[in-house]
Amino acid sequence: MYLTLENITKVFPARGNVGEVAAVHDVNLEIQKGELVTLLGPSGCGKTTTLRMIAGFEFPTAGRISLDGQEINSLPPHKRGMSMVFQSYAIFPHLTVFENIAYGLNVQRLSKKSILERVNRVMDLVHLEGYGDRPPGQLSGGQQQRVALARALVMEPKVLLMDEPLSNLDAKLREEMRTEIRRIQKELNITSVYVTHDQIEAMTLSDRIVVMNLGVIEQIGSPMEIYRFPNSRFVANFIGRANFIDGVVLAQDGSVLTVRSLGESITLSNIKREFHEGEDVTLIVRPEMIQIKRTGGLYNGVVRRAVYLGDEMEYMVEIRGLSILGSETDPHVTELFPEGEKVTLGFAEDCIQVLPAEKKSE
């Protein structure tokens, strides 16, 4: 493994210096060379603190960070061979675009020829040709973001760290830039750690996602694994939309599980966990896993809300007092069920994740 975090904990004094707050608690993470891993979670979950500990701006209270087999806990940021793209870009306002990008190379006292060559190469990479003499104040948000990225890339870092670099951009630009970032990262094969609270960014960019909450890692996996097989209510709720339906296990035969929920028995397949008979469980049903039909479905319900969103039709259906969110994405379906209409619901029984019942978390 290239970058390793072992039992990393970071504790800050609480307000008024009474007690302590664990911003990060016992985090373990291994990142392979060339991989892009995203730390994803809500504000205050510890993702930025973790990134800053990797960078060296914060020192872990406990644990060990290793890069290519060497412990780097005590190394200051300027000796770790890493680069960072900040949320605010942190472009030096008194330097031109060229001077900004060349800053790190000037610190290393490289020759002018070498600096010119490397900076121009990186500016071509991020499509900033011809902008070298501009002051940062004359650049758009997207261009500033490219300058920050170029400044980090020109250092040919061992690890590229990105702290919510797209959060200040509008939606369309964000979409363009995340594609660019992914393209560049793949082209240069740079090991990268990305921090965001935006699940779409995480799903688009990452080889693996690390979902964090309240300072701990909830789940690590590929985007598909995180989405299709969330291992907790929090992950299921944070990534995409989900319905949480209570049930009781009737029987399990290998990966086939029979559950009673909403008054009916349903048989689910591709179940990886083991349950025992009578155990309370929660079914995690994504809206796109629900088929809404006039007749023929397993569950009977009433449409309480129907919205046409262009690429999908969104329904809120009430079944036995529980509101279920469903979506219809089949372009051949053109009829919208009106509110109050009685409908039946069916689930894609091989796509549903089942978890032991737990207390609802915020």
Partner 1 sequence: MVIAWLVVRKNFSGKGVLDFSSNLGGAVPGTILGIGFVLVFNKPPMALAVVIYAVLALFFGLVVGRDARERLVMLLIGTAAGVLLTRLETIRLYYLLGALYLFLSVFLLFSGKKTFGALLAALLGVYVMSTNWATAISQPIADFSRSIERGFWSNAIFQFSDHLKVIFQPPPSLLAIFLIFAGILLIQGLQHRAQRVVAGIVALSIPCAMSFMDIPFALVGGAYIIMAAFIVRSLPASVRAGVASLQQIDPSIEEASNILGGDAQYTFRKVTLPLIFPALLAGLIFSFTRHMTSLSAIIFLVSAKWRIVTASIISEWEQGGVSIAAAYSTLIILLVMIAIVVLNIVTSRLLRGREGVDLSQGL
Nearest distance in Å: CB 89, partner 1: 4
User: Cβ closer to partner 1: 159 or 257?
Assistant: 159
Q: Helix or strand or coil: residue 350?
A: coil
270/275 Cα distance (integer angstroms): 13
Nearest distance in Å: CB 240, partner 1: 31
> What are the structure tokens assigned to 281, written together?
């469980």
SS3 content of the chain, % helix, strand, coil (to 5): 25, 35, 40
72/103 Cα distance (integer angstroms): 24
Q: Which of 61, 66, 168, 258 binds partner 1 (CB under 8 A)?
A: 168
Q: Buried b vs exposed e over 319-353: b needs ≥16 C-beta within 10 Å?
A: beeeebbbbbeeeeeeeebeeebebbbebeeebbb
Report if residue 160 touches partner 1, rule: CB under 8 A.
Answer: no
Report if residue 155 touches partner 1, rule: CB under 8 A.
Answer: yes
Question: How many other β-carbons are positioned within 10 Å of the β-carbon of residue 75?
Answer: 15
Bridge pairing between strands 36-40 and 62-67: unpaired
What residues between 220 and 239 interact with partner 1 by CB under 8 A?
none
Report if residue 137 touches partner 1, rule: CB under 8 A.
Answer: yes
User: Cβ closer to partner 1: 106 or 361?
Assistant: 106
Bridge pairing between strands 159-163 and 191-196: parallel
What residues between 75 and 134 interact with partner 1 by CB under 8 A?
76-78, 80, 82-84, 86-94, 103-104, 107-108
User: Cβ closer to partner 1: 144 or 232?
Assistant: 144
Nearest distance in Å: CB 65, partner 1: 15
Q: Which of 31, 55, 285, 292 binds partner 1 (CB under 8 A)?
A: 55
Report if residue 156 touches partner 1, rule: CB under 8 A.
Answer: no
User: Which parts of this chain interact with partner 1 (CB under 8 A)?
Assistant: 55-57, 76-78, 80, 82-84, 86-94, 103-104, 107-108, 135-137, 144, 151, 155, 168
